[in-house]
A and B are shown apart, each in its own frame.
Chain A
Amino acid sequence: MIAFDLLQWPWIRSLCPCCPFSKGKDDLGRSRLRRIYIGSVPVLGDDDAPEDMGGRGSVGSSEAPPSHNSQRRKSRLDRISSQSFSDMDYNPGLTTKVENPVIPVRRQSIMAGDLRIPPKNVFPNNEVTSSRYTLLSFFPKNIYEQFRRIVNFYFLVVAIIQSVTSSPVSPVTSIAPLAFVVIVTMIKQGYEDWLRHKADNLFNNRPVKVIRDGVIELIHSRDVKVGDIVKLEGEEQVPTDIVLLGSSDEFQRCLLNTANLDGETSLRMRYVPAGLPHFRDESDFLTLDLIVECEEACEDLYRFNGNILIPPELPRQNSSLGTIFETVTSDPAVDPQSVVPPTEAPPLSFCHALQFSHPPQQHDTTTHKATPPQAVPEVKFTPSTTGKQRRIGIAEFNMIFLGMENVILRGTKVKNTDFIYGVVVYTGPDTRLARNSKQTAPKFSTVEKTVNKYLYAFILILLVLVITATLLSLLVNWVGVNGENPWYLEKTEEQTTWGYYFQTFSSFLILFNYIIPISLYVTMEMQKFIGSKFFVWDEEMSTEAGEPPLCNTSDLNEELGQIEYLFSDKTGTLTENVMKTRMFSVDGRIYEVDDAPGPTGSGGRVAGLFVRDEEDQSKRSFVSITPEEDALLDFCRVLALCHSIQIMPKRRPSVESGNPTGFDLFLKRRKKKISSKVKNANSLFAIGAKKGGDDVPAALQLLGGNWEFQGSSPDEKALVETCVQLNVCYDGEKEEFMSVNVCGQEERYKRHMMFEFDADRKCMSVIVENEAGDIWIMTKGAETSIIPRCDTGPIQLVNKHVLTFAMMGYRTLVIARRRLTRAELDVYLGRLRAARRLVENRDEVMKHIYRDVESHLEILGATGVEDQLQEGVVETLHSLGAAGIRVWVLTGDKVETATAVAYSCGLMTSFSKQLVVTKFTENEAGTLTERLRQFDAEMAPDDNTVLIMDGETMEIALRYCPEDLCSVAMKSFRVVCCRMTPLQKSQVVKMVKDTPSKPVTAAVGDGANDVAMIQEAHIGIGIIGKEGRQAARCADFALARFGFLQKAILVHGHWYYVRLANLANYFFYKNIIFVIPQVLYCFSSGFSTQPLFDSIFLMMYNIFYTAFPILIYGLMEQPHSSRTLQEHAYLYKDITSNRLMTPTVFLKWLIFAIWHAFVCYYTALYAWPAFHPLHDISTFGTLVFSGIVAVANMKLAVETVHISWIYIFSHVVSYLAYFTFSAVYSEVDLTFVWIDPKQFRSVFFTLMAVPVFWVVMVLVTSTAIIPDIIWKGVEGSWTSVTKFFRSFPKRIKWGRGKGQGDDEGKGGWPSLRQFAPFSASTRKQNGTENGMSNDTLNSYL
């Protein structure tokens, strides 16, 4: 049980977010493994094994094996569970025996989970269900969901009261609108769910080729089970997560397009696990016996831990397996994961082969492995204590470890490979894709929250009205006629009982309940849904390539108009994420890389290296790389070798073709020269075999044709391309050799190992061996992680140069290497192999290996890669600033890079006061707190202050003095946070979100590292960038460029907010003017709850008579034109802080509503005698009601700024609806549909025929609306005056410094080519600000 205690260690969990410690635990805290059986695995010991040997290699999943031997298998499984693995637990004595045993290598008790969970329930089927309802559950579930909404529930209660008690109006008046609303919502949701069903079915019914009994069977995707062997052919979508077992590729690899998963368009490579036989035919699977182990389903897209267990003895007589089975590798130096051994290796017997590389884990053995001379981390297993010793336990199996490189996830596409075989390991909801597409918590917009508050307020108002009316009613009963009714009104009921009081109360409740607008939510939803289309349609927000903006949720449209804080990522968001190599620092000298061709005769090179003259910075001289230039050449060799770039067929012109890089231009120029020799694509990797006769490197020939470099890191790509330009060409990889063409001479390197880049280490390494047998480890990475590991080389100079590069806004990488002895190499390889065998804890162990390998390096130099600012960033940031939005930049980059970018994009000017708070350590928390307090006291809120912090300091501040930090940060005009982890980013957002003023925040980012922040902020905006689509998928909105934010926020946000806020206001308004006459009428009807309006009016008012104009308003209103809003960004301040829904505004609407209602009612009342001989209730009600409809619509017309023909049409429709419905209802005999107008019969036309009616309408409308019009005029001129003055200070503040202004003219990127990152004035400014920033800056320079 110690193992499980270990699991509780928080640091393990935090280090390993995906490993089974933290996820996939059962309720006892045990971690689970899933085990998949393929074929008949003789795991049960000798007595059982022979029987199984002949078992068909058909599909055997632990879930309901389909073949006839299921019974047998089941019993076997039972026994496996009970005997072999039950007691295999963590043994504390079994640790690695390496020189520094830091982490115990543990063997997870494999069956822990399986024992508890019956196999049948373990694995879900592969059905994808994104739908929320089934045919059966739709109705009850939907109804339930709908009535959880307060409005619907309220109306349900009212309807019930109405039906139960004797109500003044027919229950239909409540039930019908409610039913309408519910049915409309139901239809909408049903339709959406139907679409989801359709999509699900499309996926679920997609045919999948599954190999059963050696033949291909076509089954539906939903029927794919864990353990099935699937065959996928080229370009096929992968239906589920599989482990690759075989490939048509001669090197047993497979290319993938993972664009659906992470948005990266470059192809990925996957490998068949080394040690498996080559499967070339379906029949090969007849004899396949395997156990695949893998961890429980988790979310991580980049990590997979598992094993393939192969039974130890497989003396198959009837199998070709023995012969086709190949050795894993005979050369221990070759990394088994990356390269499959050459085919010419002598075939060995199965057991032998495995013995060679993975010694069978026998009881009580420590190690049999002899190949590496050093002690190799060894994994031991205790024997099953309960089982018979002779039985074959899992421990005796041969094991092949699996990693992400062997796994193909659902959602990817097989590319450039004829066919692959794979065994299904995760299905349906367990797949990584499904695990990653979980629904995020719903976000609510400010307007929606306010509307809910309004609702409560209105319920309160309603109750007050009802109670008052009830009391008055009782009073009238009691005082008015001395407790007796007039003779004409004799009552049956006792009028002093509680029942009577309740009856009166409920009657008034029913009568006045229309004050709460039932259709508000429906209209809001329709408005949002249709409104969001305008966002998507906006051509000004789509790129020329036609990448439209996305609106993933329409719930937050109007929140775009409320943003007060904008948190922006830097790379890919503010910048293009198109990299250009600009600077090298080699051997203590700085080289500039330029597209400008060097002096003629430099042999095909286009780019050149230049060195600046020490004295005269404007002069620079050309440097060419020659084989003699050792340092430069070594540097370039590292760049050409240490990367994960692949040479791939050229993709079709893709979205990324934003700015042509220098390299593209170069290729274009070269194209004429090079006859485009299209390579035949027999082998993807046979590049470099053919050589052109001229001096152009082979790679370039290819690149000029249909090949190009592809890689996930744009920095890397830029560096490799630069090397090509400098005549150090990476020519591709043939077998295990990487070939580099240095100045026309081919050099071949054997790659032993590659440690891919990860965010924790911030570096990557390769171990290569050249033809002379020299072994090098080459590393490149962030200077913070590399420099501490360097022992030799110009460390100080490189450090300084890195800072210089960074201050110019370049992304920096440090290059280092170390020579290895073969012995060292063998040790490392051995350790690595051992570590890779682990299912769990593998990452931990790997980390230690990495740490050991990447140490004692020799520093070679550094690179500076430029990432250009996106187009329009400066203008956008400027506008957003003028709009009162505080922009914070949260980046993972260095302080210097971030600062430089902040300058160049205008977030900082030379007038800005900088508060640099960086490089604090835990011990200095006190000082930090003090500093922050001091700043806090000194700062005026409207200072042009920029706070610059780094992640570590932020972390400390958040822990020790969050209030002070918050206070300083909120007072600062801009905040730049550097070196932020994704979690810290979201913490910052949360900090701002939770301040007492509760500002509305938005986060913009493009990468997976921004997802946390995007989800945390009120509004998440994704930039559809090159780092993938994950941010765009998780965000609420997605745009192709940062520059589009200007329109999205200033225009769309403004419009959406004004539309929705006024829509809500108007809804409450129109229901007040609807109900107040009813209240007033009580005074005329002796508080007897007599309704003034006919049922049809009660029903139709909200859904037809006043519905269309407000909907059109909600969709099309433009308080200011798009241009105005963008030119006068300060207009945005008019709507932030929910300005249109403040109590004052609410009161304004309320007062107008009351005025309008009084006008409608009393005008009708006083004009009423003119209608003689008409005298009845229905006619009077219709008169009042007609006034209300006219006024309500007219009020909206007054409020509307943007009156288009559609808007006018909607008004016409509104009135037409009123006349048509009322006329039909009143005049046409509708008894055949059980509609009985009762006293309303003929009223409508009778009333219309009276000329005074029209006079009254004109009178009512004009009297009611005049104050509105006057108010509008006064308000307009008042606010325009204040607005005008208000705009001044900001304008001045946003005036730029001179130096900056010049730079902007050139597209926002300051001319930083000179070695003067800060102008003199800036430095002076900074120097005088405060001691700390001075110090910090000095330390940079």
Chain B
Amino acid sequence: MSSISSATNQKLKKKKTGWERLKQQELAAWQPIFSPRGISPLFLVFGVLLIPLGVLIFTMSKNIQELKFDYTDCLNSNGDKCSDIVQKMTGESCSCIINFQLEEPMKGKIRLYYALSNFYQNHREYVASRDDDQLLGKIGTSTPISPSSDCDPFGIAPNGKIYFPCGAIANSMFNDTYTMFRHLNDGSKTEVRMIRTGIAWESDKKHKFKNPDLFLDINNTKFWDKFVQPRDWGKSLWDLDKVDANNNGLQNEDLIVWMRVSALPNFRKLHRFIDMASLGSNGEMPKGSYSFEIQYNYEVASFEGTKTLILTEQAFFGGRNVILGIILMSVGSFVLLLGLILLLLSFKRRTTWSRGSKISRDYGTQGTTTVRRSKIA
């Protein structure tokens, strides 16, 4: 050690404010030491943290009842494949029925999802193909505002009318409809009513979608002079919900849910809640046999997609996800195992491993603590 610096050091040691110490780079600091001894507690803690979480999520997911019905290739009453009928584009309707047995009663807020696969809602051009202004009802007062070019080729119809709503997303809106029945023991069936609202994000409803003021009157011929329903829609915008005016038109929640594009090509979207009141039971869906009557409108066969109907309970930790639980458990046990091995090592081969770095040994810390106060001399 040079005598200069040590001498100066001695001299300066007395009156050091925080700022002075910062300037002299002598702030007190912690130094993590990555010796087995130092890191094994960390690993143990993480292991102990992750494993229960994993177990929790795993068991919770396991306990969630989730019924999936892939009805892509379902048959109608004539025994024809609905997919074929739809693909012919004849406008002919096809309906099929799925019967199922509920072994355990379902509790809580029971949701009905539809799931599509191989549907690239996240394709860039698809994602972009919308006009947010139009969806907010900004379509002009006397003369209609042309839709954004993002909507092309679903912006303006060949006959010059404006698609309303425009864009590929809106055009491809999912339009299968489901009716649910409960089959009682006496052979009669009662419809299980479903709640159509509350499925979309509140913020979307509030900020993103608004029916135009001017053309509220759905029978206004002037409106349909200028606008036209999207090409692949079977019905008009104003027929989305004929009962609830607030859920109709652009403010229809099915539309809003659809318009929030999915991240992955296999996705499920929330469709309905089961109206427990219609079941007449105390907050649960009793076991028994049920059926779905499906109005099969949506074509997926052409792009090798599938359609699935999912009836599920909701858990505290979001939806059913066994994989996450497994990941958590495996990572947790790996970490725990590592922690134990390191702990063992730190006892067994202290001399070579726990040195951490030679320097720390020189300091006499021996790597016994995770962190050390490395106050500069």
Contacts and interface: CB of A to CB of B under 8 A. Distances in A.
Given A1118-B25, A1239-B260, A1088 B122 contact: yes
B14 interface: no
Given A1128-B359, A1272-B34, A1251 B27 contact: no
Given A539-B8, A1177-B122, A1277 B27 contact: no
Q: How large is the interface on B (under 10, 10 to 19, 20 to 34, 35 or more residues)?
A: 35 or more
A98 interface: no
A652 interface: no
Interface in B356-375: 356-359, 361-363, 371, 374
Contacts of A1256: 324
Contacts of A1283: 358
B357 A1259 contact: no
B263 A1179 contact: yes
A1279 to B, nearest CB: 7
Contact of B4 (A879, A1043, A1131, A1238): A1043
Interface in B272-325: 299, 302-303, 316-321, 323-324
B213 interface: no
Interface centre among B119, B202, B328 (most CB of A within 10 A): B328
Contacts of B357: 1276-1277, 1279-1280
B80 interface: no
Contacts of B8: 539-540
Interface string B33-55: 11110110011001001100100
A823 interface: no
Given A487-B299, A1177-B122, A1241-B207, A1166 B323 contact: yes
B29 interface: yes
Contact of A491 (B111, B153, B208, B268): B153
A537 interface: yes
Contacts of A1273: 34-36, 38-39, 342, 353, 356
Interface in A1075-1109: 1084-1086, 1088-1091
A1089 B352 contact: no
Given A540-B8, A1241-B208, A1273-B36, A1127 B1 contact: yes
Contact of B264 (A1084, A1091, A1122, A1200): A1084
B176 interface: no
A741 to B, nearest CB: 41
Contact of B2 (A538, A1126, A1171): A1126
Interface in A1279-1302: 1279-1281, 1283-1284
Given A488-B172, A1166-B327, A1252 B318 contact: yes
A378 B25 CA distance: 69
Interface stretch (A463-471, A574-582, A1202-1210): A1202-1210
Interface in A930-988: none
B264 A1202 contact: no
Interface stretch (B100-108, B125-133, B214-222): B125-133
Contact of B355 (A872, A1118, A1277): A1277
A1175 interface: yes
Contact of A876 (B2, B171, B208): B2
Contact of B377 (A879, A1123, A1201): A1123
Interface residues of A, number: 98
B24 A1175 contact: no
A665 interface: no
A1172 B39 contact: no
A1116 B269 CA distance: 50
B9 interface: yes
Contact of B374 (A481, A1121, A1163, A1165): A1121
B209 to A, nearest CB: 12
A1251 B338 CA distance: 27
A1335 interface: no
Contacts of B50: 1258-1259, 1262
Nearest to B270: A1173
B12 interface: yes
B203 interface: yes
Interface in A1145-1180: 1163, 1165-1177, 1179-1180
Interface stretch (A134-142, A189-197, A1263-1271): A1263-1271
B153 A490 contact: yes
B320 A1169 contact: yes
Nearest to A1208: B30
Contacts of A1126: 1-2, 5
B2 to A, nearest CB: 5
A410 interface: no
A1109 to B, nearest CB: 14
Contacts of A1277: 35, 352-353, 355-357
A1116 B27 contact: yes
A793 to B, nearest CB: 45
A1176 B263 contact: yes
A179 interface: no
A1124 interface: yes
B88 interface: no
A1255 interface: yes
A481 B305 CA distance: 12
Interface string A863-903: 00000000110011001000000000000000000000000
Nearest to A1047: B5
Interface string A526-561: 000000011001111000000000000000000000
Interface in A268-316: none
B265 interface: yes
A1276 B35 contact: yes
A250 to B, nearest CB: 48
B317 A488 contact: no
A1207 B374 CA distance: 14
A1242 interface: yes
Interface string B321-336: 1011001100100110
Contact of B31 (A481, A879, A1203): A1203
Contact of A1259 (B61, B122, B327): B327
Contacts of B132: 1238
A1089 B124 contact: yes
B265 A1086 contact: yes
B120 A1085 contact: yes
A1176 B327 contact: no
Contacts of B57: 1170, 1252, 1255
Interface centre among B12, B32, B132, B268 (most CB of A within 10 A): B32
A1250 interface: yes
A692 interface: no
B316 A1172 contact: no
Contact of B267 (A487, A492, A1085, A1175): A1175
A1270 B172 CA distance: 50
A534 B125 contact: no
Contacts of B120: 486, 489, 1085-1086, 1088
27 contacts: A487-B172, A488-B119, A539-B24, A1046-B2, A1084-B264, A1085-B122, A1090-B122, A1091-B124, A1116-B25, A1122-B376, A1122-B377, A1123-B1, A1124-B363, A1131-B359, A1166-B323, A1170-B318, A1173-B268, A1175-B260, A1177-B261, A1181-B263, A1242-B202, A1246-B201, A1251-B318, A1277-B357, A1280-B356, A1281-B352, A1284-B358
Given A1168-B264, A1171-B319, A1277-B357, 15 more contacts: A487-B302, A488-B126, A489-B172, A1044-B4, A1085-B265, A1166-B327, A1167-B324, A1169-B319, A1173-B111, A1242-B204, A1255-B53, A1256-B324, A1269-B43, A1272-B34, A1276-B33
The 4 lowest CB-CB distance pairs between A and B, nearest first, are A1172-B319, A1170-B321, A1242-B203, A488-B172
Interface of B: 1-5, 8-9, 12, 22-36, 38-39, 42-43, 46, 49-50, 53, 57, 61, 111, 113, 119-120, 122-127, 132, 152-154, 168, 171-172, 199, 201-204, 207-208, 232, 260-265, 267-270, 299, 302-303, 316-321, 323-324, 327-328, 331, 334-335, 338, 342, 352-353, 355-359, 361-363, 371, 374, 376-377
